[in-house]
Amino acid sequence: MSLMSTARSRVADVVNLFATPLQASHYVELVNPLWSSHKLQARVEEVWDETADARTITLRPGRNWRRHRAGQHLRLGVPIGGRRFTRTYSISSSPERRDGCITVTVKVLDGGRMSGHLVRNLEVGTYLPIGLPQGDFVVPESTPVRPLFITAGSGLTPVMSMLRTWDIVGNMPDVAHIHYAPHRYDVIYGAELVELAARRPRYRYEAVLTREGGDGPSTARHFDRAQLDALCPDWMEREVWACGPQSLLAAVEQHFEAAGRSRFLHVERFRAALAEVPADAAGGRATFVIDGAPVSADADATTPLLRVAEDAGLNPEHGCRMGICHTCDIPLVAGRVRDLRTGDVIDEPGQLVQICISGAAGDCELALTAPAT
């Protein structure tokens, strides 16, 4: 087996030598981007509006895709204005889907430039870079479970993948599902859920419409103990998966902790726990990660991060120190930095930062590789 794989990688080495300094896969990509092995892409096969502000995108992943487990998410890159932005989305389709495609459902979030673009402008036939499926928000496959799902808005997506899988395979467990949405027409997959509940008696679906009927949001319809008792009296006997906005997850976590059942609660959240940085934030805590080890230092708004790193005893690679040579470029992990020349803010994880001419604009974290010796 390992002999086979070494032999195969030898052959690949020789084939790649024909393409040096590239790889053979770069030329394969010319024929079909889905066949390349040096990077993973997906083709947009279909777009479908679930609600006025949510759209389902059907993607055909490339050859190197690994089948996901229901509940997992993936990273999706979208070029907007020539720049690439990457976000994480839960996969809403079942891994059992016959055609090998996957779906994600994207909702326009306030001020979300990427979700806005995906919902309004994405065209069928576009190739998007994707990552492999990740995450452990999954239902164990071997042991039988009695799940309670608590979801809100697009937090429904990972749970949808689970429900669809059980439906396709035909082994629907005893499921209780409480879903929150403002109005009936805001429920993504609303019709499908109702239909599923009618067809599979073991699946119990409760929609809580928080703004229906009255004017303005009614906190009375938000998650609390009394409501849970009413909608799912046997919640003490169930294992819980929750996905939705931070406020819902906080309430759910608090409740199950008080009940001593945190052990049986799984949550999925995509917003980083990082506090929102105010737009005019100046300076902050700069963290440089070298081979997994973080080094932190206080950085004011005007000192280049290269200086900050050096003052902290680090020795980042650099050349001109004036923004010409790009030797000092390192990727942003999290937080915000500012280009000291133009005042532009960079807050896109993965974006390269010229640290000789960038200062902290709030807390920031950068990935520093040890300089070659």
Partner 1 sequence: MTNVLPIDLDPAVIEQLGHELDEIYDATIASLGERDERYIRRLIRTQRTLALGSRVAMLAGAAVRRRGLLRRKVGATGRRAGTALLGLGTAGLGLAKILENMEIGHNVMHGQWDWMNDPEINSTIWEWDTVCSADHWKHGHNIVHHTWTNVLGKDRDIGYEILRTTSEKPWNPVYLAQPIYNTLLALMFEWGVGLHELDFDKLASGTKEQKAEQLELFQGFLRKAARQAAKDYVLWPSLAGPGFVDVVIADTVANLIRNIWSYTIIFCGHFPDGVHLFDRSVIEDETRAGWYLRQLLGSANITGGPRFHVLAGNLSHQIEHHLFPDMPSNRYQQVAPRIEALCVRYGLPYNAGPLRRQFGTTIRKIWRYALPGGTDTVSEAPALRVA
Q: Give the one entry of partner 1, ligand FES, none that residue 356 binds, where binding means its C-beta sits below a cut-off of 5 to 8 angstroms depending on kind.
A: ligand FES
**Binding window for partner 1 (CB under 8 A); candidates: 4-12, 68-76, 162-170, 343-351:** 343-351
- Min separation Cβ 252 and partner 1, Å: 35
Per CB under 8 A, 85 contacts partner 1: yes
* Largest separation between any pair of C-alpha atoms in the chain: 69
Binding mask 308-347 for ligand FES (x = CB under 6 A): ----------xxxx-xxxxxx-------------------
Alpha carbon 370 to chain centroid distance? 29
Residues making up the chain, counted from first to last:
373
Per CB under 6 A, 352 contacts ligand FES: no
- The C-alpha atoms of residue 118 and residue 42 are separated, in whole angstroms, by 14
- Min separation Cβ 361 and ligand FES, Å: 18
CB atoms within 10 A of CB 291: 8
Per CB under 8 A, 142 contacts partner 1: no
> Which runs of E-coded beta strand occur in the chain?
41-51, 54-61, 73-80, 83-90, 102-107, 127-129, 147-152, 175-181, 203-209, 239-243, 265-268, 284-290, 293-299, 329-339, 345-346, 352-354, 358-368
**Total residues in contact with partner 1, by rule CB under 8 A:** 35
Please pick, from the candidates 124, 274, 352, 370, the single residue that binds partner 1 as defined by CB under 8 A.
352
Per CB under 8 A, 310 contacts partner 1: no
Please pick, from the candidates 100, 217, 294, 350, the single residue that binds partner 1 as defined by CB under 8 A.
350
User: With the C-alpha atoms ordered 279, 282, 285, 286, is the resulting torsion angle positive or negative?
Assistant: positive
Helical pair 24-31 and 2-19, crossing angle rounded to 10 deg: 80
Q: In the range 24-63, which residues lie near ligand FES by CB under 6 A?
A: none
Per CB under 6 A, 303 contacts ligand FES: no
Peptide bond just before 140 cis, omega within 30 deg: no
Q: What are phi and psi of 14, to 5 degrees?
A: -65, -45
The answer to whether residues 24 and 60 touch, using CB atoms and an 8 Å cutoff, is no
Please pick, from the candidates 82, 125, 144, 292, the single residue that binds partner 1 as defined by CB under 8 A.
82
Q: Give the one entry of ligand FES, partner 1, none that residue 352 binds, where binding means its C-beta sits below a cut-off of 5 to 8 angstroms depending on kind.
A: partner 1
**Total residues in contact with ligand FES, by rule CB under 6 A:** 12
Binding mask 198-217 for ligand FES (x = CB under 6 A): --------------------
Alpha carbon 321 to chain centroid distance? 35
Q: Which is nearer to ligand FES, 157 or 354 (CB)?
A: 354
Please pick, from the candidates 45, 206, 239, 329, the single residue that binds partner 1 as defined by CB under 8 A.
329
CB atoms within 10 A of CB 248: 21
The answer to whether residues 102 and 158 touch, using CB atoms and an 8 Å cutoff, is no
Cα 190–Cα 243–Cα 175 angle in degrees, nearest 5: 65
Per CB under 8 A, 131 contacts partner 1: no
Partners of 61 in beta bridges: 42
What are 69's two structure tokens? 């487990």
The answer to whether residues 318 and 332 touch, using CB atoms and an 8 Å cutoff, is no
Q: In the range 197-236, which residues lie near partner 1 by CB under 8 A?
A: none
Sites of contact with ligand FES (CB under 6 A):
318-321, 323-328, 354, 356
Sites of contact with partner 1 (CB under 8 A):
14, 17-22, 26-27, 30, 39, 79, 81-85, 129, 319-320, 322-327, 329, 341-342, 348, 350-352, 354, 372
